[in-house]
Amino acid sequence: MPDTQRPVLPGFDPFSQEFLADPAAVLRRAQDEEPVFYFPELNYWVVTRFDDVERVISDFETFSSVAIAVLPVPQDMHDRVPPDFYERSFIASDPPVHTISRKAANTAFKRSRVDHMEEEIRGLCNELIDGFAARGSADLMEEFAYPLAIRTLARLIGLPDGPQDVAEYQRWAPDLVAVLTPKFPPLPDGSPAPATPMEPAELRERYERIATARAFFQRLVDEREREPKQDLLSSMLHAEGDEEGGRALPQALVITHMVELITAGSATTANLIGHALKFLGETPGALAALAADPSLVDNAVEEALRRRASTFGIFRKATRDVEIRGVMIPEGSLIWAAYAATGHDPDRFTDSERFDIHRPNAGQHLNFGKGRHFCMGAPLARLESATAVRTLLERLPDLDVPAGQEVEYAPSLIVPELLHLEGRWSAA
C-alpha cells in the first residue's frame, strides 16, 4: 500500500516528554481526526477508539500477541540468557502456548490469596512512611511507590525481601522493560525495520543484570524443588500438566514468568500510585476530601487509572489484511492498541480530561486489558494502590503533592515510568 493512502497524525511523537507527561490531548485529537493512523517513523499503526482497542486486544486470531520480542542478547551471554527467553512469556504468546502458562498462573494466583494481603501491604506502607515521615518531604516515587510495588511482589512470589534483596530487584526490574521491543516488520520499501535504539554498552549492562536475575531465580527454583512453600513460585513450579505426573511448565519458563511478573507489576503499580497522588494534588480539595472520607479512595484510584493509563499501549500483529474503522491494515503490520486513549473516548466518558473522584463510571476503563491477556495482577494492583493512598493520608493528613511540579518519564511505548514526585507535609 503506498504511503499516501495511510492516514497519519501530524505532530505525533510518542517519545516526547510532553506526550509522556500527558498523552490525553494528542490521543483525543487522534480520536476525532484520525482514529486509526500510521506512524511512518517506526512503521506501526495506532488504534485509539475504545471499541477498536477492545476488538484488537480481544481477537487473538486476527491480532496476535506474538508481536513483542527483546533486543538481541549479546552472543557471548547466550549460556546465561537464552536469546529466545522471552518468546513464551505471557504477554508475547498466543494459545496454545499462552493457555498452558495462564492456567498454571491462574491457579497459583488463587492459591496465593491476594485478597488477604491488605494487612501485609499496610505494614509495608507504614514501614516505608516511617523512613521519611519526620522529614516533612519525600520523593514519593523513589521512597514509597516503587519500593512498595517491588516488596509486595516479592511477598506474593515468595522472594526474600530484606533491604539488600529489594535494592537488587529494584536495579534489574526496569531492565526487562527497557529491552522489550516491538517486532517491527520490514519497512514498506523492503528496507530493515528500525529497532528501538540502545547503545551496545548499555545493552550489555542491562543483560548482565537480567542474567543475575535469572541466576537468582534458578537458585530459588532449586530450593523450591527440594522444599515447596506456600508461595506463587512453588505453585507455578509444581503446577501439573496434562500428562499424568508431568509438569505444566519447564523450569526455564517459570523463571521467565517470574521475571515477567516483577516487570509487569512494578512500574505499572508504582505509576498508578504516583498518578493518583499527582492528580489528587492538582485537584483543589481532593486530598482533603479523601482524608476526611477514606471510602472515596477506591474510586479515586480507579479514576486516576482511567485518566492516565499505566500501560500506554500494547502491540499486536495483524495475521491477515484487516479493516478497522474504514482503514485497511495489511497482514503482518504492527498495531499499537493505545490503552492510554480509551479512558478518553467521548462515547464512554464525558469531559474526560477532568479528574473527578466521584465519576460514576470511573472503573469502566480498559486499562487492565481484556480477554485472555487480562491483567493477572489487577486485584493486587487495585488493593495495593488504594491501601497506599489511604495509609499515606492516615499518617500524613496534611499531605500536599504540589501542583505544577516538573515530572520526568523514562521513555517507553509500553510503560513509561514516572521517575519522581515530591510530597510535602508538616513534620511532627
Region near ligand HEM per CB under 6 A, out of 32-40, 121-129, 139-147, 363-371: 363-371
- Going by C-alpha positions, the residue among 194, 399, 426 that lies closest to residue 280 is 399
x-or-dash pattern for ligand HEM, window 327-356, by CB under 6 A? ------------x-----------------
User: What is the distance between the alpha carbons of residues 182 and 67, in angstroms, rounded to a whole number?
Assistant: 6
169 vs 425, beta carbon nearer ligand HEM: 169
User: Residue of minimal CB distance from ligand HEM?
Assistant: 377
Cell representation of residue 374: 487480562
Read off the amino acid at residue 150.
I
254 vs 261, beta carbon nearer ligand HEM: 261
Residue of 147, 174, 185, 377 interacting with ligand HEM (CB under 6 A):
377
Residue of 27, 272, 383, 393 interacting with ligand HEM (CB under 6 A):
272
- Going by C-alpha positions, the residue among 223, 247, 227 that lies closest to residue 103 is 247
Region near ligand HEM per CB under 6 A, out of 80-88, 187-195, 243-251, 264-272: 264-272
Least Å from the CB of residue 235 to ligand HEM:
13
Of residues 303-332, which lie at the interface with ligand HEM (CB under 6 A)?
310-311, 314
Residue of 376, 386, 388, 396 interacting with ligand HEM (CB under 6 A):
376
334 vs 375, beta carbon nearer ligand HEM: 375
Read off the amino acid at residue 161.
D
Least Å from the CB of residue 335 to ligand HEM:
12
Cell representation of residue 32: 476525532
User: What is the distance between the alpha carbons of residues 105 and 162, in angstroms, rounded to a whole number?
Assistant: 25
206 vs 373, beta carbon nearer ligand HEM: 373
Host H or E run for residue 426: none
Asked if 100 is part of the footprint of ligand HEM (rule: CB under 6 A), the reply reads no
Residue of 367, 387, 391, 412 interacting with ligand HEM (CB under 6 A):
367
* Pairing status of strand 334-337 against strand 44-47: parallel
Residue of 264, 277, 324, 401 interacting with ligand HEM (CB under 6 A):
264
- Cis peptide, bond prior to residue 96, ω within 30 of zero: yes
x-or-dash pattern for ligand HEM, window 405-424, by CB under 6 A? --------------------
CB 338 within 8 A of CB 79: no
x-or-dash pattern for ligand HEM, window 222-261, by CB under 6 A? --------------------------------------xx
Read off the amino acid at residue 352.
S
- Going by C-alpha positions, the residue among 156, 152, 189 that lies closest to residue 170 is 152
Sign of torsion over alpha carbons 1, 321, 7, 325: positive
Asked if 373 is part of the footprint of ligand HEM (rule: CB under 6 A), the reply reads yes
Question: Which alpha helices (DSSP H) does 227-335 contain, by range?
Answer: 232-237, 251-282, 286-292, 297-307
- Going by C-alpha positions, the residue among 192, 181, 190, 187 that lies closest to residue 333 is 187
Of residues 80-99, which lie at the interface with ligand HEM (CB under 6 A)?
90-91
* DSSP line for 375-400: -TTHHHHHHHHHHHHHHHHHH-TT-B
Asked if 50 is part of the footprint of ligand HEM (rule: CB under 6 A), the reply reads no
- Going by C-alpha positions, the residue among 195, 415, 184 that lies closest to residue 317 is 184
User: What is the distance between the alpha carbons of residues 418 and 409, in angstroms, rounded to a whole number?
Assistant: 5
Residue of 100, 173, 375, 421 interacting with ligand HEM (CB under 6 A):
375
Contacting residues toward ligand HEM, per CB under 6 A: 57, 65, 90-91, 102, 153, 260-261, 264-265, 268-269, 272, 310-311, 314, 339, 367-369, 373, 375-377, 380-381
